A and B are shown apart, each in its own frame.
Chain A
Amino acid sequence: KQEVTQIPAALSVPEGENLVLNCSFTDSAIYNLQWFRQDPGKGLTSLLLIQSSQREQTSGRLNASLDKSSGRSTLYIAASQPGDSATYLCAVKTGANNLFFGTGTRLTVIP
């Protein structure tokens, strides 16, 4: 069974800093990898989706990379802002149309 791990579990940074969130998965046979943001008490918002044939995707200050062979993905956030404070989840899609989620990284950006 696919297992997804996210490190660190929590991260606190001062505003303006660049940061990297890590995601690793055990089975490299994936269709895609998706990064989500979850605010307290809210649902999940999709940030970026990387197909298995792609190496990275960018959206504004966010850049996600994928190294399928090593089972790793990173989410890079540039010039962090207090509004970026949330829990960030990565999820990998397998052929069974199932999304396997990591346990998330809780990010706090201090003004």
Chain B
Amino acid sequence: DAGVIQSPRHEVTEMGQEVTLRCKPISGHDYLFWYRQTMMRGLELLIYFNNNVPIDDSGMPEDRFSAKMPNASFSTLKIQPSEPRDSAVYFCASSHTGTIYEQYFGPGTRLTVT
């Protein structure tokens, strides 16, 4: 298996632009997580899905952030409009309920908003 795939790996955009981050979970995994990592706050959960349904989005910082999972093999995290304080590394992870809930992480997307 190729593991969790994220794209793009790096994104540089100007303040006010829309940003879309993409994630392909490991095949067969039924949980998908979006995390954000910053120097100040470390790793924080933004939202997670189970069987494509959002379960907990309490970590989404504000209405500018939205996430979707239209099918079991694809998810997006959108920021509109983007702000410089959104600059961070965004990770996607997946896990399977049949195992011991071990989460597997993608390589991350480094977002820079200027």
Q: Which residues of A contact B (CB under 8 A)?
A: 31-32, 34, 36, 41-46, 49, 51, 89, 91, 93, 96-99, 101-104
In the bound complex, CA of A49 to CA of B23 (Å): 24
Q: Does B63 contact A (CB under 8 A)?
A: no
In the bound complex, CA of A102 to CA of B44 (Å): 10
Residues of A within 8 A of B104 (CB): 46
Q: Does B102 contact A (CB under 8 A)?
A: yes
Count residues on chain B whose CB falls below 8 Å from chain A CBs.
23
Q: In the assembled complex, how far is the CB of residue A34 from the closest CB belonging to chain B, in whole angstroms?
A: 7
| Known pairs A42-B108, A46-B104 / 17 extra A-B pairs, C-beta < 8 Å | A31-B101, A34-B102, A41-B110, A43-B4, A43-B91, A43-B107, A44-B91, A49-B100, A93-B101, A96-B56, A97-B31, A97-B56, A98-B45, A98-B48, A99-B45, A99-B103, A103-B42
Docked complex: B70-114 residues within 8 A CB-CB of A: 91, 93, 100-108, 110
Main secondary structure of the interface of A (DSSP, over half): strand
In the bound complex, CA of A97 to CA of B95 (Å): 10
In the bound complex, CA of A98 to CA of B45 (Å): 7
Residues of B within 8 A of A46 (CB): 102-105
Contact A102 B100 (CB under 8 A): no
Contact B56 A98 (CB under 8 A): yes
In the bound complex, CA of A42 to CA of B105 (Å): 10
Contact A102 B42 (CB under 8 A): yes
Residues of A within 8 A of B4 (CB): 43
Residues of B within 8 A of A97 (CB): 31, 48, 50, 55-56, 101
